[in-house]
Amino acid sequence: MLFIWQVAVHADARGQGLGQRMLQHLLARTGLEQLRYIETTVSPDNQASRSMFSNMAQRLNTSLNENVLFETHHFGKHAHEEEPLLRIGPLPHG
Ligand SMILES: CC(C)(COP(=O)(O)OP(=O)(O)OC[C@H]1O[C@@H](n2cnc3c(N)ncnc32)[C@H](O)[C@@H]1OP(=O)(O)O)[C@@H](O)C(=O)NCCC(=O)NCCS
């Protein structure tokens, strides 16, 4: 399982597929040939990130499932949105 934490594209370069291409580049790295699942956390209102990961699941011809992980109360007094867990897989070559 590969956990992807923090993907960022400069605001001027967003919406051109760069995020998707970075993920593809990441998956092509040596050592990930047996990878079966990808996990990440994405807040509910982060539509760009959600689209990027759901596009990734479609491109890999596999599923994207969402489960509760970090809830608002886990962040204590620091106001922060919940961070559900997104799991993509199984990957076809795993
Ligand atoms: C998430 C992020 C990395 C995506 O990068 P990107 O290069 O714009 O990604 P892509 O071009 O591959 O587009 C991803 C999808 O988001 C959509 N999208 C882009 N900007 C959007 C916006 N402001 N609102 C809603 N959707 C948006 C695109 O249309 C695309 O979906 P589609 O193919 O179904 O049309 C970028 O928006 C970013 O850096 N955001 C701030 C940091 C962040 O929140 N990172 C993720 C959490 S760690």
Please list every protein residue whose CB sits less than 6 Å from any atom of ligand 1: 6-9, 14-20, 42, 46-49, 51-52, 55
pLDDT at 81: 86
Residue corresponding to tokens 């539509």: 47
pLDDT confidence of residue 69: 86
Per-residue model confidence (pLDDT) at position 75: 85
Which of 12, 22, 51, when mutated, tests ligand 1's pocket best, judged by the most ligand atoms within 8 Å of its CB? 51
What's the Cα-to-Cα distance from 10 to each of 16, 19, 40, 89, rounded to whole Å? 11, 10, 20, 28
CA angle 81, 58, 15 (to 5 degrees): 60
The domains of the chain, with CATH numbers, are 2-89 (3.40.630.30)
Distance CA 39, CA 57 (A): 11
Backbone CA torsion sign across 54, 60, 65, 69? negative
Confidence at residue 78, expressed as pLDDT on a 0 to 100 scale: 80
Closest C-alpha among 59, 67, 19, 58 to residue 40:
67
pLDDT tens string, the chain, 94 residues long: the values are: 999 999 999 999 999 999 999 999 999 999 999 999 999 999 999 999 999 999 999 999 999 999 988 888 888 888 788 889 999 999 976 5
